[in-house]
Amino acid sequence: MMKSIKLNQTIRDDILLSIMSMWDEKNTEPDIKTAEHTLALWLWGRCVGKGLSFDGVPDKFLNKSTGIKFSFGGDVNQVHLEYAMPVWWGRYDVPVLEVFEKEHKELKKFHKTNADHETWRAQRDEIKRESAVVLESVNTTKQLVEMWPQCEPFLPAYVANPDQAVRLPAIPLSRLNERLGIKVAK
């Protein structure tokens, strides 16, 4: 039988971390960075044109940027490249490209990945919040396991079996005080 110990915030955090790690393994986070980079490359190609030479473009209009802004009917979004590419600078700190092809596959993929990521994040936050509420509603490991027996695998070793957990050696306080230069009044 498991020995019951009082739950403190550190133990609750460790259990919650274990729960969320398991959830993350089973629910892969949508790869928003790759979708953003792919869209940024496509937008960069649209912005400067394929095979366009930058020869003759005044230096004040040519710079390097990782950010590209684009808009659909006034809504401005920004995506980032993994590395800086040459761009023209106009009125904005990064180029703004008005995109009329709302049905382009890269835009669709980007918007779908964004939506999938928002759904994933909302589900993850909800699971974390619900798990935290359960952990906060009990005071001991015994109460937790009685109320939610399935959580036992998430208990850290030092909680699940404190008698067999790794113990730190006892440090004599007199030695510690001496090493710190603290004088103890006798």
Nearest to 44 by CA among 85, 73, 83: 85
Burial of 122-158, coded b for 16+ CB within 10 Å and e otherwise, reads eeeeeeeeebbebbeebeebeebbeeeeebeebbeee
pLDDT in the model for residue 52: 45
Is the pTM higher than 0.95? The answer reads no
Residue 52: both structure tokens together:
């366009």
Helices (H) and strands (E) in the chain, counts: 6, 3
What stretch of H or E contains 124?
helix 105-136
pLDDT in the model for residue 132: 95
* Cβ pair 68, 94 in contact under 8 A: yes
DSSP 129-155: HHHHHHHHT-SBHHHHHHH-GGGGGGS
pLDDT in the model for residue 89: 45
pLDDT in the model for residue 3: 79
**What span, in angstroms and rounded, lies between the C-alpha atoms of 154 and 177?**
38
pLDDT in the model for residue 136: 96
Residue with the two structure tokens 């009044």: 185
**What span, in angstroms and rounded, lies between the C-alpha atoms of 148 and 16?**
13
Indicate the DSSP class of residue 161. Answer: -
The pLDDT profile of the chain, 186 residues, written as one tens digit per residue, is 567 889 999 999 999 999 999 999 999 999 988 887 777 777 666 655 554 444 554 454 455 566 666 665 556 666 666 656 555 444 445 444 555 555 677 778 888 998 999 999 999 999 999 999 999 999 999 999 999 999 999 998 877 666 655 455 567 777 778 778 888 776
pLDDT in the model for residue 125: 96
Residue 87: both structure tokens together:
């761009």
pLDDT in the model for residue 140: 92
